[in-house]
Structure 1
Amino acid sequence: MRHSSPPPSPEQRASYRDALARGVDRFLHPPRTTCPWCDSGRLRQRLRTTDLLQRKPGTFTLDQCLDCGHVFQNPQLNEDGLDFYYRDFYDGYWEERAGETWASLRKAYEQRAAFAAPHVRPKTWLDVGTGHGHFCAAAADRFPGTVFDGLDRGECVELAARRGWIERAHRGLFPDLAPELADAYDVVSMQHYLEHTVQPLRELQAAAQVVRPGGHLFIEVPDPECRFSRILGRWWMPWFQPQHLHLMPMANLRRRLKDLGFTVVAQERCYFNGPVNLLYSAFLRMHNAAPAPDAPWFPAAPTQLQKTARQAMFLGALPLILTAKAADRLTGLLPSGARVTDAYRLLARREALDPA
């Protein structure tokens, strides 16, 4: 989790200085007064936090609907805000460390493929939000006869095609591309994608267009009902502000899929990448307590003293990190009813159209 990056160029730092000179309030829509999932007006504040990972400036609020339990960023990032906070995370300045992170998740990708395997024998599979295509490369071993395509809004999907990890790259927004992909795929997957979307209900409608009748939709998302979401508060990594815009309870997603003509055939509460809630929380605390590392959105590079202090703080925190890791292993032995897993996954079959 502690990757090194080259020093930012003067041009990169100047670009961020110009963007931040106008303030960060302009990156937010006006706040909502109703739930975007069920339209209830009974809302309460669930969390207020900052960007704990990149440490870009800004404060973000998550509200929760008291009727359906949906958790959502409010006010929500607008297009300029999405561009600013995603910038240099999955590509650009942080692209190398992002690639290393996704590559390290191969076991998680294999577990997701294994979850779907008893229920599907697809000829075609579309991975929405595929990034660099790491899941498709891993799942190909489990499904050797399947043609994997990927969809993403960034140029990373084109890189995945050049690497041969996907057959075809679809670049753009899923709801915009859905009409031309109607009934084209046996399986559509959305893995830790839906929580990033501006309008998750539109994304589900797009999936209902693209999955052919009798095909399947696979979804994995963070679980806002995880007990650690309350115990750890803002230090629970899956809150992942400001990128996670929506976190929906499993029951909400099941009901919406049923409304769209899907039948859930398998579900489970699971871990995104193993039991690491306490470990990641400890890392976030140290990362934010220590002097900031170098990055183009900071006004100046850290001094040598600040670099040394940061290294010393992480070294001194090693016992805390090891203790958190050991405690995570113990929580990993608890049954699913304990609600300590940080994600859940669903596999739903799109029912065949009535020939009448």
Structure 2
Amino acid sequence: MTKSEMIAARRPAYMSDLAEGTDRFFESRRETCPWCASTKPFKVVLRTSDVIQHKPGKFVLESCTDCGHVFQNPRLNTEGLEFYYRDFYDGLGAEDMNSTLQFNRSGHEGRARMVLASAGTPKQWLDVGTGHGHFPHDAKRVLPDTEFDGLDMTDGVLLAQQEGRIRKSYHGNFVELAEEISGQYDVISMYHYLEHTLDPGKEIAAAHTALPEGGYLSIELPDPESAWSRLLGRWWTPWLQPQHLHMMPIANLRARLTELGFTVVAEQRAEPHIATDAVNAALLLVNAATIAGENLAWRPAPPSRFRRALRKTAFVASLPLVVAALLVDRVIAPIGRKRGMSNTYRVLARRTS
């Protein structure tokens, strides 16, 4: 089946989902911080649409004026999460997502080296939110004697096992499986996972349950304190609305880990930076300006031949802008990543109680 045929096959279901509008995809607005329970008024950080898939809907990120936690408010409900995740990592979006993740080899190996430097060579490692298993596959180059398993709620984890990127797959909810797998792993990793979850605190507590004393929890997250987030606004890719429900300042994560019985043994703020902020913003802008020419399953009909041609022409014409943005990323990264412009941070914590 061609992609156009796949889109046509999915269109009736999307039209049915959107017939009643998007308000039903959201919970009620909350008045307490989901991280520290503060009742002080929140500050609006971002108002945006879906600038990646361009599915209908408006989304708001707010920050707690007490602890700085950034969260989606109102938050998507279960039905909304299913709607906006559909065809992003799997289905129509599977090929593009795989292409993106498989080219982050240096970042994947950097995660493994961070653990190796502080914890030695683990025997058993569980990667939570592993997706299609690209991180474990690349980490094997650094840790050839470590056995990697993966957990995810999507079918990608099953494919990861079939492709040999992980030894064993868990298809389900980590919080619900934590007791079952307790004591089996030296390391549990959560790379770009917590920001997608309904309750990050419960996920960290589940990791404490699953790890033996002396075991390690490795976390990587987009950094909401990055200067790029303010410079680029809604075009900063790590905001990733509507999928990112929570964005945690590193101090908040450090404090919560300590409260739960972990000791932070290593942090990285400059090293995990992915130098693509400007170029991704440029691509998002061009895409948004020409999206009328894209065939999308959540629109009533495919675009006309003229609109498709116009979109292709606009992308060609925008190449100088994209190249310039790429150069900006490359020039700024060596200095900027150490001066508040890193877009990602990593934390490694040891369970000590």
Aligned residues: 349
Residue equivalent to 2:304: 303
Matched, 1:11 2:9: yes
- CA apart distance, 1:147: 1.1
> Given that residues 44 and 63 in structure 1 are in contact (C-alpha distance below 8 angstroms), is that contact kept between their aligned partners in structure 2?
yes
1:52-201 paired onto structure 2 within 5 Å: 52-120=51-119, 121-201=121-201
Aligned residue number for residue 338 of structure 1: 339
Q: Is the 8 A contact 1:8 1:295 kept in 2?
A: no
**Structure 1 stretch 71-80 or stretch 286-295: which is displaced more?**
286-295
Output the amino acid matched with 1:297. W
For the 8 Å contact 1:291–1:307, the answer to whether it is kept is no
SS at match of 1:179: coil
CA contact (8 A) 2:270 2:338 kept: no
Contact persistence 2:125–2:149 (CA under 8 A): yes
- Aligned amino acid, residue 96 of structure 2: R
Q: Which residue of 2 aligns with 1:315?
A: 316
1:290 aligned onto 2:287: no
2:273/2:337 contact within 8 Å kept: no
CA distance in 1, matches of 2:301, 2:106: 38
- CA deviations 1:39-68 (Å, max 9, x no partner) are 112211111001001000000000000110
Residue correspondence of structure 1 range 214-229 to structure 2 within 5 A: 214-229=214-229
1:32 to 6, 30, 33: 30
2:33 touches 2:39 (CA, 8 Å); kept in 1?
yes
Indicate the larger mover: 308-317 or 8-17.
8-17
Q: Distance in 1 between matches of 2:138 and 2:214?
A: 24
Q: 5+ unaligned residues in a row in structure 1: which ranges?
A: none
The match for 1:254 is: 254
Q: Which amino acid aligns with 2:21?
A: G
Check the 8 A contact 2:273/2:342 in 1, yes or no: no
For 1:337 and 1:107, locate their aligned partners in 2 and report how far apart those are by CA, in whole Å: 18
- Secondary structure of 1:8's counterpart equals helix
Gaps of 5+ in 2: none
What whole-Å deviation, never above 9, does each CA across 1:217-237 have from its counterpart, x for those lacking one? 000000000011111111111
CA offset digits 1:266-296 (Å, max 9, x no partner) = 1011466621111111111111011331121
Distance 1:47 1:41 in 2: 20
Deviations 1:77-112 (A, max 9, x none): 000000000001111111111111111222211121
Q: Secondary structure at the match of 2:291?
A: coil
Counterpart-to-counterpart distance in 1, 2:112 and 2:209:
22
Shift of the alpha carbon at 1:167?
1.2
Under a length normalisation based on structure 2, what TM-score does the superposition of the two structures give?
A: 0.96
Q: Distance in 2 between matches of 1:189 and 1:9?
A: 35
Give the superposition deviation at 1:163: 1.3
Q: For the Cα contact (< 8 Å) 1:291–1:309, is it kept in 2?
A: no
**Counterpart residue type for residue 167 of structure 1:** R
SS at match of 1:119: helix
What letter corresponds to residue 312 of structure 1 in structure 2? T
CA contact (8 A) 2:193 2:221 kept: yes
Q: What CA distance in whole angstroms lies between the structure 1 residues aligned with 2:272 and 2:61?
A: 21
Match of 1:327 in 2: 328
Q: How does 1:209-248 map to 2 (within 5 A)?
A: 209-248=209-248
Task: Say which SS state the counterpart of residue 68 (structure 1) adopts.
Answer: coil
For residues 176-215 of structure 1, give each alpha carbon's deviation from its aligned partner in whole angstroms, at most 9, with x where no partner exists: 1011111221000000000000110000000111121111
Structure 1 contact 7–295 (Cα < 8 Å) conserved: no
Instruction: Tell me if the contact between 1:250 and 1:344 (Cα under 8 Å) persists in the aligned partners.
Output: yes
Q: Secondary structure at the match of 1:15?
A: helix
Matches within 5 A, 1:254-273: 254-270=254-270
Alpha-carbon separation, structure 1, partners of 2:9 and 2:277: 37
Structure 1 residues 216 and 248, CA, compared in 2 at 3 Å: closer, same or farther?
same
1:304-323: CA deviation from partner (whole Å, max 9, x where unpaired): 11111111111111111111
**Aligned-residue RMSD, C-alpha:** 1.4
- TM-score for the superposition, normalised by structure 1: 0.95
In 2, the alpha carbon distance for the partners of 1:244 and 1:115 equals 25
